[in-house]
């Protein structure tokens, strides 16, 4: 199956990998059941985040949810999904370590409205999570807001964002990161 990308906006170039891979994940997930576990991106420039340079046009092969190979000679199986990147940029997904999905999705009037229910707040936060995904952010860390149901909805496939990660400070393995550190603060002992 061949898929083309039709866009002239530079912003689409910037986030192409996140959008392409995230849009492809449901296909990949269903493809595993059907034996089609490969996706080949053709005619893309790769930004790896380390060299600071874009590659010349090349191919990227994804097997399951891992990049298997990058290069001009890369080939995929007959059942692979083939996506023509048309010269756009493929790059790692972006990470935002300080977001407020609910509070950035609603106005102050919305937040103060007696009509606001937990369900409406969840739906607004889920729309914001999907918008962040479309801007290229594949992982976000919400640092204050009611997002546990949004995370559960993303994990269950109810909301757009299946390839991303949504974390709250309490879910981190360490506690010395400011807002999630619940230890009482003390003045250092004098020398």
Least confident of 129-138, 158-167, 177-186: 177-186
Q: Token digits for 174?
A: 């360490």
The radius of gyration computed from the CA coordinates of the chain, to the nearest angstrom, equals 20
* Measured CA distances, 83 to 111, 114, 151 (Å): 42, 47, 29
Show the DSSP H helices in the chain as ranges: 10-14, 16-34, 101-105, 108-112, 118-134, 148-156
The string of pLDDT tens digits covering residues 117-159 is 999 999 999 999 889 888 888 888 888 777 888 888 888 888 8
pLDDT top residue among 91 and 55:
55
Please give the Cα distance from 191 to 189 (Å, whole number).
Answer: 6
Please report the pLDDT score of residue 22 as a whole number. 47
The string of pLDDT tens digits covering residues 26-70 is 444 444 444 548 999 999 999 988 888 999 999 999 998 788 999
* Measured CA distances, 183 to 5, 66, 119, 175 (Å): 50, 39, 32, 9
| pTM, full prediction | 0.61
Please give the Cα distance from 76 to 173 (Å, whole number).
Answer: 38
The answer to whether the beta carbons of residues 69 and 77 sit under 8 Å apart is no
Please report the pLDDT score of residue 25 as a whole number. 45
Handedness of CA 42, 71, 29, 153 (dihedral sign): negative
- The whole-chain average pLDDT of the chain stands at 75
- Domains of the chain, by residue range, sit at 2-90, 94-171
Task: Provide the CATH number for the domain formed by 94-171 in this structure.
Answer: 3.30.110.90
For residue 103, the cross-strand partners are none
- Which of the listed CATH numbers 3.40.50, 2.30.40, 2.40.50, 1.10.287 matches domain 2-90? 2.30.40
């Amino acid at each position: 199956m061949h898929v083309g990308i039709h866009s002239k906006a530079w912003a689409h170039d910037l986030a192409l990998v996140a959008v392409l891979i995230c849009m492809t994940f449901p296909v990949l997930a269903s493809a595993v059941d059907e034996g089609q576990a490969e996706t080949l991106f053709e005619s893309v420039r790769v930004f790896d985040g380390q060299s600071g340079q874009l590659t010349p046009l090349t191919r990227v092969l994804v097997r399951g949810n891992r990049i298997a190979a990058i290069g001009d000679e890369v080939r995929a199986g007959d059942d692979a999904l083939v996506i023509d990147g048309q010269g756009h940029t493929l790059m790692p997904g972006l990470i935002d370590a300080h977001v407020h999905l609910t509070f950035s999705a609603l106005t102050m009037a919305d937040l103060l409205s007696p009509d606001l229910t937990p369900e409406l707040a969840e739906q607004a936060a889920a729309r914001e999570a999907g918008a962040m995904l479309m801007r290229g952010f594949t992982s976000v860390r919400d640092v204050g807001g009611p997002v546990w149901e949004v995370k559960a909805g993303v994990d269950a496939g109810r909301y757009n964002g299946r390839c991303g990660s949504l974390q709250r400070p309490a879910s981190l393995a360490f506690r010395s990161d400011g807002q999630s550190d619940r230890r009482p603060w003390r003045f250092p002992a004098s020398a």
